[in-house]
Amino acid sequence: MENYDDMKGMHGLAIFLVVHLASVLASSSLQGTLVIANRGSGTLSVVDPITLANITEVTLPDHGMPMYVNSVPATGEVWVGDRNNSRMVIYKIDGTELVYDGYVPVEAGVFHSITTQVPKTRNPAVWVTCDTAKVTVVIDVLSRGRICTIPTPKRIRNSYGFPHDVTSNGRFGYVTYLNSSLNKGFVLAYDLQYRCHARAKYATAVDPHVGIWGRSRLVVAAQGGVVSVLQPGILTLRNRNRQPSPHGVTITRDGKLAYVTNIMNGGMMAVVVYQLPSGRLLECPMVMTSIGGPHNVDTSLDERRLFITHSMPSVNTAFEIGDDGCVEPNSEVQFFSGSVPFGLDVILP
């Protein structure tokens, strides 16, 4: 005859395991899913943001080269820029699965892309820069029709400039231009209410990248060594800081912090944190990554974890974020994806 106490103990253990598993699954679902675009392998890695385990790997059709991946909560979709085939590839989100749902053609040279960075927007758009064609394309997500095609300004184009990074907070889109002959970078604000006409311009150091979220200020990270905080729409300067090779930008969902990577210093001073709207540096311990080239960056949905791609063969890093918003230096964990991980996005559950 079995011992009653043993049976009771096993029953208690079973209940504990079930409750613990349910807790883990609930926690994981609340964190959404991390999706990474892998340029080298032509795939998307779907990653659990808590365990950092690969859930699945999705191959783009027609030997595609994924650049950046952008979720659209309003439609339950993920849009992926495909440089090889000059198009935006669309997937429907089904739990942790991505189901292919067609594509929208764009011009040659797909590089950065972004969806409207406004929570619960009813009119989401996708902005995509095409550096070979030297245009930026804006697409209505709901109809999948083109809103406008923005040419590179003549003076920038004539000096060999081309569009590179892009972000949008609804009415305005912000496009950066790389320009070697003028030894400057530019950010232009385009107004959707006025047929995508340029409304303002800001000149900065070379190789600028941009980030915004909702009503936050616009953060411009120029790899030439300057991080600028601008008033959205009119692009007036609110603050400016020197930083070694600033590159990737992500803004917290409350619009109060910006995380900016340092791409060129071999992992030293890998991430710098700025307070918004002031643009002042947040006093944090220095963060180092064990591998070089911290490139693109995003946070978990609860903003307690930071994910970084390094455009290395298949290695990424994750760090914990403290209560003060600082990245915790000794919390680095390496995790893996497909080859040459590039753009990334945390999608809603």
Query: Which residue range forms the structural domain that includes residue 290?
Result: 243-349
Report if residue 344 sits inside a domain: yes
Residue-level pLDDT at 21: 34
Residue-level pLDDT at 19: 34
Report if residue 28 sits inside a domain: no
Measured CA to CA, the distance from residue 221 to residue 187 in angstroms comes to 11
Q: Identify the burial level of 331 via C-beta atoms within 10 angstroms of its C-beta, where 0-12 means exposed, 13-18 middle and 19 or more buried.
A: middle
Q: Pick the more confident residue, 35 or 5.
A: 35
Measured CA to CA, the distance from residue 226 to residue 11 in angstroms comes to 61
Positive/negative CA dihedral, 332, 338, 339, 341: negative
Largest CA distance in the chain: 90
Report if residue 279 sits inside a domain: yes
Confidence label for 234 from pLDDT (cuts 50, 70 and 90): very high
Specify the 3-state DSSP secondary structure of 15.
helix
Measured CA to CA, the distance from residue 248 to residue 257 in angstroms comes to 14
Work out the average pLDDT over 169-185. 93
Report if residue 39 sits inside a domain: no
**What does each C-alpha distance from 17 to 13, 22, 67, 302 come to in angstroms?**
6, 8, 40, 25
| Domain at 286, CATH number | 2.120.10.30
Report if residue 198 sits inside a domain: no
Q: What is the pLDDT of residues 50-90, one digit of tens each?
A: 999 999 999 999 999 999 999 999 999 999 999 999 999 99
Q: Which residue carries 């995380």 as its tokens?
A: 259
Report if residue 178 sits inside a domain: no
% of the chain exceeding 70 in pLDDT: 91
Please state the domain count of the chain. 1
Q: What is the pLDDT of residues 301-325, one digit of tens each?
A: 999 999 999 988 899 999 999 999 9
> What is the average pLDDT value for the chain, to the nearest integer?
92
Phi, psi of 120 (to 5 degrees): 60, 30
Measured CA to CA, the distance from residue 166 to residue 187 in angstroms comes to 9
Report if residue 302 sits inside a domain: yes
pTM value is: 0.91
Report if residue 23 sits inside a domain: no
Q: Exposed e or buried b for every residue in 174-211, given b needs 16+ CB within 10 A?
A: bbbbbbeeeebbbbbbbebeeebeebbebebbbbbbbb
Of 170, 164, 219, 173, nearest to 197 by C-alpha is 173
